[in-house]
Structure 1
Amino acid sequence: KEQRVLSRRIKGSNRWEKQRLVVSRLTSKVANQRKDWLHKKAFALANCYDMIVVEDIDLRAIGQNKYYAKNQQDNGFGNFRLYLKYKLEQRGKYFVKAPKDFASTQLCSTCGYKNTSLKGNVDIREWDCPSCGTHHDRDINSAFNLKHYGERYTREVILPQIVVA
């Protein structure tokens, strides 16, 4: 509403300058509220879990996609990952990024079959595994696959470091 009022003012006038300051204050307040919320969520997750595994999504590519750009930028997912990483590391916990080529939504979490027909098609939210017949919700299946990736990462990377030290 304040932004609309600003747009009706004559640019450069005293009233325009006062309104610009009002809009600036409100914009920074909203930005600070979002940042505060991200910090609080990252803190809560860092306190609850010893390891968090996320996909290494190319946020720049998503930001250039006309369908997802606004949502992705509004949510501040990149900042959230940074906050989460440093809050976990402060507590001596682990933040793991699954590589870009890890097909978390395409792999069957039951048998490991890779359903390549899902690649690039985010409209398909549920699918049945042709190999074992298991019905999958794409998001839940992805979570299971990331959990398995984290367990494998723990066995192959973290535990050998602890044994050597």
Structure 2
Amino acid sequence: MPSGKYYVSLLVETIIDELPKTGSNIGVDLGLTDFIVLSDGSKAANPKFLSKLQDKLAREQKTLARRREIANTEQRKLSDSKNYQKQKLKVAKVYERITNCRKDFLHKLSFNLIKNHDVIAIEDLNVKGMVKNRKLAKAISDSSWSTFTTMLAYKAEWYGKALIKIDRWYPSSKTCSGCGHLLIKDKLSLSVRSWTCPSCQQNNNRDINASINILNEGLKLASIKTVGAAGLA
């Protein structure tokens, strides 16, 4: 590993028992301020591991660049420069800490959702397309939405739960969860965090409203899949 550590990988065959059914279903809205907002109103804050260690990483990288320049000036190979190699190891350890903290957070959060709910509905986001936005790219990458969704998918399969992915174009934020009224396309900018439905007057928190709609759409899709499977039987 770049941090100088060695790992042993063992492959074993095991049987994973399904988790007990809870009778609970949940909708998940992914975000940047809050990592997830659930349809029951609960939230999980975004730990932003890269942001928290950004200053330390920048300092170590700056020192690494300086030692690279010294080695080049003295016409020494980087592989022969002990100071450069020591600093390279420090940078690698910061990256490793970020990665390990992020994985630990994602594993614990995904398992808790699978353990406590039978059906988990989530948006099928186009993360590759979203990171092309330079203003949000770093924050989106730090959130690791794709990794989180992947964890939910295989853990749902392991433990006998259902993960339903909602079409990325489904207007979850702009649909009133109370009456189904859909706002016109340009009527809800990202800066608007709550809105009142002009049809039923329900006040909607943007993220909670979205997660409720995601859950409702997910349950519809789960029902369609179940009926379809029964029809083929």
TM-score normalised according to structure 1 size = 0.89
Q: Distance in 2 between matches of 1:61 and 1:118?
A: 21
For residue 102 of structure 1, what is the amino acid of its counterpart?
Answer: Y
Q: 1:89 aligns with which of 129, 144, 157?
A: 157
In the alignment, which residue of structure 1 is the partner of 2:220?
152
The aligned runs of 1:20-59 (5 Å cut-off) are 20-59=88-127
Q: Distance in 1 between matches of 2:197 and 2:105?
A: 38
89-98 vs 63-72, greater mean Cα deviation: 63-72
The aligned runs of 1:63-142 (5 Å cut-off) are 63-118=131-186, 121-142=189-210
Q: Which has the higher helix share?
A: 1
Residue 3 in structure 1 maps to residue 71 in structure 2: no
- Give 1:67 shift: 2.4
Q: CA RMSD in A?
A: 2.0
Query: Residue by residue, what CA displacement relative to the aligned partner does 1:97-127 show, whole Å, maximum 9, x if unpaired?
Result: 1112211011111111110245672111111
Report if aligned partners of 2:122, 2:215 keep a CA contact under 8 Å in 1: no
Stretches of structure 2 that go unaligned for 5 or more consecutive residues are 1-58, 72-77
32-41 vs 151-160, greater mean Cα deviation: 151-160
Report if aligned partners of 2:165, 2:218 keep a CA contact under 8 Å in 1: no
In the alignment, which residue of structure 2 is the partner of 1:16?
84
Aligned-partner SS, 2:195 = strand
Aligned-partner SS, 2:176 = coil
Amino-acid identity (%): 33
50-59 vs 3-12, greater mean Cα deviation: 3-12
Q: Which has the higher contact order (CA 8 A, sep 6+)?
A: 2
Stretches of structure 1 that go unaligned for 5 or more consecutive residues are none
Q: Distance in 1 between matches of 2:169 and 2:187?
A: 11
